[in-house]
Amino acid sequence: MVGETGFDSPVSQQLTTLPFTLEKVVDCLSAMQVIQQKKIDLIIASDQLPDATTLEFIQQVGRQNPMPALVIASPDACVEDAVAAIHAGASDFIAGNITLKRLTTLLEQQPVETPEGPIAASDASRSLLAMARQVASTDTTVLITGNSGTGKEVLAHFIHQHSPRKAQTFIAINCAAIPENLLEAELFGYVKGAFTGAYTSRPGKFELANEGTLFLDEIGEIAGSLQAKLLRVLQEREVERIGSHQSIRLNIRIIAATNQDLARQVNEGTFREDLFYRLNVFPLHCMPLRERREDILPLARHFLARTGRCLQFSPSAEQALLNHDWPGNARELENVVQRALVLTTGNTIQPEALMLPANGTQSTTTTSSPIRSNKLHKRNRTLEQEHIIDTLLQHKGHRTRTAETLGITTRTLRNKLADIRRQGIDIEALIAQSKTSDEHRYQGE
Ligand SMILES: Nc1ncnc2c1ncn2[C@@H]1O[C@H](COP(=O)(O)OP(=O)(O)OP(=O)(O)O)[C@@H](O)[C@H]1O
């Protein structure tokens, strides 16, 4: 219930007899906070909220995915108000007081389960989710590929949520974030005394995920020796804790993800071919955000709604979001939205608060860019790599600021720069060259 809904207290008390939990909040802001934290099936809101108009409130709720059913209650509304509310996305409009019977009927019409799914407005994302849903019902190993921040972990969760294992645990481990020797202990567990510092026995992630799903993120980062051990566990579906010879049977679903080109790593000899085939049983690819632009605004609104603030983007801010190329993908967009909140005082986010390049990313990668004029490697370069280098040059080679602007971690940036270097592009020379040309420009001005 949001605001004064005309729901009188005797009726309200009878609600305790129904198999539903009731949350009462006074305004849009607190309603959005509750929606972020809990699964809400039905919202009944007054048309007189203190901090938002009815249409603003409907828009905010409409940005949730999936959207809870929303009923607007008004003691003395006219037909026009009701029509406007329904047009804006409300499920129903009640004029006059709500009766318990009406409420019970509304609640019973709601689906019992509404798991939060990823935003998927573009055709590409919709068909990706359709495939994910299909594979979810099986135990097939899935390999999710895609650039950093494209939503690989979100997709892995989605698969788990739609699988028969959904009531069991989903355990995620980022193979890049943990040093090699610790990663082995994290994955396989150990027994007391197995190595210096092993004061007690501990289960590994494989054991913890037993009966459920294990998500191996950034799988391309694991060292050769560990690849062999991982392969053995995947083949035999058994794990031994370090220091023990006792095998533990595993019944788990494996989902792996990588932002690397594993096939290329196989060719280069840095990733085991047999492990690659064992993981790549059902490949799913998360496309870069710039290649599914219909997702940009729904995602931006989703991130905004998730903050619980009743704000909206101005039309020019939405245009700026659409113009940008999003090399850091959804994560960059999320960071941009959060930064914009800090810089916004009113109800509307203006383009300046987004702090995006003036005419979209494309304008920063003009032909004057040193990387573009470097014809030698032009064939091999991706748009993403160009943007990374241009951003690095804008920040005069400063890695941390570049990663922040791109919305990726410094580690991911390092990996990406290593990839670029492997293509023979001399990044340091480009930075030096751009600093020199900047100096010349300033001197000329
Ligand atoms: N389709 C989506 N719907 C809702 N939120 C999304 C979607 N895609 C990505 N996000 C959000 O964007 C952020 C980055 O997503 P996620 O962590 O899944 O990306 P990733 O590809 O696993 O990144 P990395 O490779 O860096 O680990 C998260 O906060 C996630 O909630």
Point out the domain boundary residue: 255, 286, 317.
Answer: 286
Residue 157 CA: which ligand 1 atom is closest? 18
My answer on whether 130 and 229 are in the same domain is: yes
Ligand 1 centroid to residue 161 C-alpha, Å: 16
Instruction: Tell me the residue ranges of DSSP E strands in 198-281.
Output: 202-203, 213-217, 238-240, 247-249, 253-258
My answer on whether 206 and 338 are in the same domain is: no
Alpha carbon distance 81, 114 (integer Å): 28
Residues 6+ apart with CB under 8 A from 75: 6, 95, 96, 97
Question: Is the minimum distance from the CB of 165 to ligand 1 under 6 angstroms?
Answer: no
My answer on whether 166 and 277 are in the same domain is: yes
- pLDDT for residue 370: 38
My answer on whether 182 and 260 are in the same domain is: yes
Q: Scan for tokens 């916004």, then name that residue.
A: 344
Ligand 1 centroid to residue 118 C-alpha, Å: 9
Question: Is the minimum distance from the CB of 288 to ligand 1 under 6 angstroms?
Answer: no
Within 13 A of 257's CA, how many CA atoms are on the CB side?
24
- pLDDT for residue 194: 86
Ligand 1 centroid to residue 231 C-alpha, Å: 27
User: Is the interface score ipTM higher than 0.95?
Assistant: yes
Question: Is the minimum distance from the CB of 149 to ligand 1 under 6 angstroms?
Answer: yes
Point out the domain boundary residue: 286, 317, 345.
Answer: 286
Tens digit of each residue's pLDDT, the chain (445 residues): 887 766 655 555 656 555 567 788 889 888 988 887 777 878 888 888 888 888 888 888 877 766 677 888 887 767 677 767 766 767 677 777 666 666 666 665 554 333 457 999 999 999 999 999 999 999 999 999 999 999 999 999 999 999 999 999 999 999 988 888 789 999 999 999 988 888 999 999 999 999 999 999 999 999 999 999 999 999 999 999 999 999 999 999 999 999 999 999 999 999 999 999 999 999 999 999 999 999 999 999 999 888 877 889 999 999 999 999 999 999 999 999 988 988 888 889 999 999 887 654 433 333 334 343 343 334 334 667 777 888 888 888 888 888 888 877 777 888 888 878 776 677 887 887 777 665 554 444 4
- pLDDT for residue 372: 38
Question: Is the minimum distance from the CB of 124 to ligand 1 under 6 angstroms?
Answer: no
- For residue 360 the two structure tokens come to 């979209």
My answer on whether 17 and 133 are in the same domain is: no
In a domain, 2, yes or no: no
By CB neighbour count within 10 A (0-12 exposed, 13-18 middle, 19+ buried), where does 368 fall?
A: exposed
Question: Is the minimum distance from the CB of 217 to ligand 1 under 6 angstroms?
Answer: yes
Question: Is the minimum distance from the CB of 152 to ligand 1 under 6 angstroms?
Answer: yes
In a domain, 4, yes or no: no
Residue 148 CA: which ligand 1 atom is closest? 25
Domain count, the chain: 4
Question: Is the minimum distance from the CB of 330 to ligand 1 under 6 angstroms?
Answer: yes
- pLDDT for residue 368: 35
My answer on whether 139 and 280 are in the same domain is: yes
Reported as a single tens digit per residue, the pLDDT across 140-158 is 999 999 999 999 999 999 9
Ligand 1 centroid to residue 410 C-alpha, Å: 17
Alpha carbon distance 11, 102 (integer Å): 11
My answer on whether 304 and 279 are in the same domain is: no
Ligand 1 centroid to residue 313 C-alpha, Å: 21
My answer on whether 390 and 311 are in the same domain is: no
Ligand 1 centroid to residue 249 C-alpha, Å: 32
My answer on whether 373 and 423 are in the same domain is: yes
The answer to whether 168 and 176 have CB atoms below 8 angstroms apart is: no
Residue 408 CA: which ligand 1 atom is closest? 26
Alpha carbon distance 403, 415 (integer Å): 11
The dihedral sign for the CA sequence 120, 125, 127, 133 = negative
Q: CATH number, domain at 310?
A: 1.10.8.60
Ligand 1 centroid to residue 413 C-alpha, Å: 17
- If one residue of 125, 304, 331, 336 were mutated to test the ligand 1 pocket, choosing by the most ligand atoms within 8 A of its CB, it would be 331
Question: Is the minimum distance from the CB of 334 to ligand 1 under 6 angstroms?
Answer: yes
DSSP secondary structure code for residue 110 in this structure? S
- If one residue of 153, 157, 160, 293 were mutated to test the ligand 1 pocket, choosing by the most ligand atoms within 8 A of its CB, it would be 153
My answer on whether 19 and 86 are in the same domain is: yes
Using alpha carbons, select from 285, 378, 364 the residue that is nearest to residue 327.
364
- List beta partners, residue 286: 146
- pLDDT for residue 365: 32
CA angle, residues 423, 426, 428, in degrees to nearest 5: 140
Query: For residue 94, what are the domain limits?
Result: 9-108
Residue 155 CA: which ligand 1 atom is closest? 18
Residue 150 CA: which ligand 1 atom is closest? 21
For β-strands 69-74 and 92-95, DSSP reports them as: parallel
- For residue 186 the two structure tokens come to 């994290």
Reported as a single tens digit per residue, the pLDDT across 328-367 is 999 999 999 988 988 888 889 999 999 887 654 433 333 3
Alpha carbon distance 286, 124 (integer Å): 9
- pLDDT for residue 157: 95
**How many CB atoms are located within 10 Å of the residue 67 CB?**
15
My answer on whether 296 and 271 are in the same domain is: no
- pLDDT for residue 426: 78
User: Which pTM was predicted?
Assistant: 0.63
My answer on whether 348 and 372 are in the same domain is: no
In a domain, 134, yes or no: yes
Within 13 A of 379's CA, how many CA atoms are on the CB side?
1
- If one residue of 36, 142, 154 were mutated to test the ligand 1 pocket, choosing by the most ligand atoms within 8 A of its CB, it would be 154
Point out the domain boundary residue: 326, 354, 382.
Answer: 354
- pLDDT for residue 382: 61
Coil vs helix vs strand at 59: helix
